Amino acid sequence: MLTGWRYRTVSATGTVCLVVVAVLVANHPLSQSIFTTVVPLFDRLEPTVLDWTSLQWALTLSVLAVAGAVWPLYKPRPRRILDTVFLVQKRVLVGGLALATLGYFQWSHRLPRATLVMIIGVLVVVLPGWFLLIRGQPNGSDGRTLIVGDDPAQIDRVAPAVDTPVIGYLCPTITSARDALRSASKTDGKVVADGGVVLHHDEGSELEGGEMSSGAVRSLSRLGGLSRLEDVLVEYDIDTVVLAFRQPDRAEFFGALDACYEHGVGAKVHREYADSVLVAEGDVGELVDVDLEPWDPLDHLFKRLFDVCFAVAGLVVFAPLMLVIALAIKLDSSGPVLYSQDRTAGFGDTFPVYKFRSMVPKSEDATPGEEDDRITRVGHVLRKTHLDELPQLWSILVGRMSVVGPRAAWVDEEQLLERDAPAWRKRWFVKPGLTGLAQINDTKSTDPNLKLRYDLEYIRKQSVWFDLQIVIRQVWKVFLDVREMIFGSNRGSDEREQ
């Protein structure tokens, strides 16, 4: 199995070569003759063999269209065989549609219909086989597994549940006495501390100076600490990582998930921690698969295109209005025009969110509230019309946010929300959004469980069409809020989510 840059290089090179071969085969006189004689609907066409100049155009456009459409697959991802086949075929058809569109509108060189159909037909068959071949398992085995965590007792527990070859584990060098005692309490182990080195005895096992030789993992090699994760993933061509962290809400836990996502490595967790992550449907074993990429990559591409178009259009259309708002804020109260707040992004990362300031500057309280008497006169208007959110269009444009997704929560506030909704961090598996299913249903941070249910429903149902429906409903809500502000209503207020 190939991983990292080697997989990208081999997959892209092979794709280009196969596209070139497909074009040459489709342009061969024998292929043209057979295809235009035997295949229905094309049996009335004359065989067309491109000359050298036209063939160069056909090669260039086909490589750009098909290799470009298949681009998301150049990044290694753990997928089932049928999923890989269908995804590649879908992208080949997208590339063929792009070629047909170019020819139909005569924007560039026009491929003969028979040639185009043969190219796509050949690639629909051979290209999925190529991706299956390079994503094959190493050494004829079922894959290489690495155990990563900070909990020796849990590593002991999960190792026997792994049904693929385990090449070793990553664990911190020295475990503190307090943490080791906590681990030992789960396994009735005995722990003593000597000069800062923890000795963990469990059925003759020992953890000394960070070197583990206990129970099921006695024969496994310690490959280093958690900081070596990315190096080990590449060096040993890891297929699956099993996470064994004492607390699944730690930065190291989501950092490990992020590394697995970036390197196209599958991730598993013990079932008792499944509530903290998105898991693949249908898992019934002791170890469950973490769904690192809930979006289909092609939908992800369309979603990103939609985000960029939406952000560019919004920034252009509202640029004059944003200048007026900035001036009004400065005239209304002292303080900066923009307000910045660190919020949580994917896999627990953080990023700054910018909004037009709508309150008098003061130290913040993370406790969700319904009202705040610090809202300025301009702030009331901005919050009521949602215009204070306009600067977030820039975050969408640069890829930190999406138009639709779980609302990014304030980092300090998340600690309170997690206390009331233990599965809150499942939202971290989708890029945060400007609006979402919870927002169009008027859900507040004061009810985190209801908000989490809406966010998880969105994650399960997400699609470009679903995003468009949410945006339309949000625009309609903004229209109603503006109308209410202008003409008045008894509905009350400036109650807005932080």
**Listed residue (152, 156, 244) closest to 199, CA to CA:** 152
Write out the two tokens for 444. 């507040």
pLDDT of residue 122: 95
- The H-assigned helical ranges of 264-385 are 297-332, 377-385
d(CA 150, CA 308): 40
Write out the two tokens for 349. 């990362």
Strands of the sheet containing 166-170, edge to edge, are 166-170, 145-149, 240-244, 266-270, 287-289
**Which residues, 6 or more positions from 456, have their beta carbon under 8 angstroms from its beta carbon?**
423, 426, 427
d(CA 159, CA 147): 8
Write out the two tokens for 95. 């590339």
| Residue 155 φ then ψ, to 5° | -60, -40
140-289 adopts what CATH topology? Rossmann fold (3.40.50)
**CA distance to 271, 317, 350, 446, per residue, from 455 (Å):** 22, 29, 19, 15
Q: What is the pLDDT along the chain (498 residues), one digit of tens a residue?
A: 555 677 888 999 999 999 999 999 999 999 999 998 888 888 778 888 999 988 999 999 999 999 999 987 887 765 667 778 888 998 999 999 999 888 777 655 678 889 999 999 999 999 999 998 887 544 444 568 899 988 888 888 888 888 888 888 898 864 444 444 444 444 444 443 333 333 333 333 444 333 444 455 566 888 888 888 888 887 787 888 998 888 766 667 777 887 887 777 888 888 777 666 666 655 557 788 887 666 666 677 788 888 999 999 999 999 999 999 999 998 888 888 898 888 877 766 788 888 998 888 765 554 555 456 678 888 888 888 888 889 999 999 988 888 998 888 777 777 677 676 666 666 777 788 888 888 888 887 677 778 777 877 787 777 788 888 999 998 888 888 778 877 765 444 444 444
Buried b (16+ CB within 10 A) or exposed e, 373-406: eebbebbebbbbebbbbbbbbebbbeebbbbbbb
Query: What's the chain's length in residues?
Result: 498
**Which residues, 6 or more positions from 419, have their beta carbon under 8 angstroms from its beta carbon?**
none
d(CA 196, CA 396): 48
Contact between 153 and 186 under an 8 Å Cβ cutoff? The reply is: yes
As a whole number of Å, the end-to-end CA separation of the chain is: 47
**Which residues, 6 or more positions from 56, have their beta carbon under 8 angstroms from its beta carbon?**
none
Put simply, whether the predicted model's pTM sits higher than 0.95 gets the answer no
pLDDT of residue 493: 44
What single-letter amino acid sits at 475? V
d(CA 151, CA 214): 12
> What value does the CA radius of gyration of the chain take, rounded to a whole number of Å?
28
- Return the domain boundaries, the chain: 4-136, 140-289, 297-487
pLDDT of residue 60: 93
Contact between 347 and 255 under an 8 Å Cβ cutoff? The reply is: yes
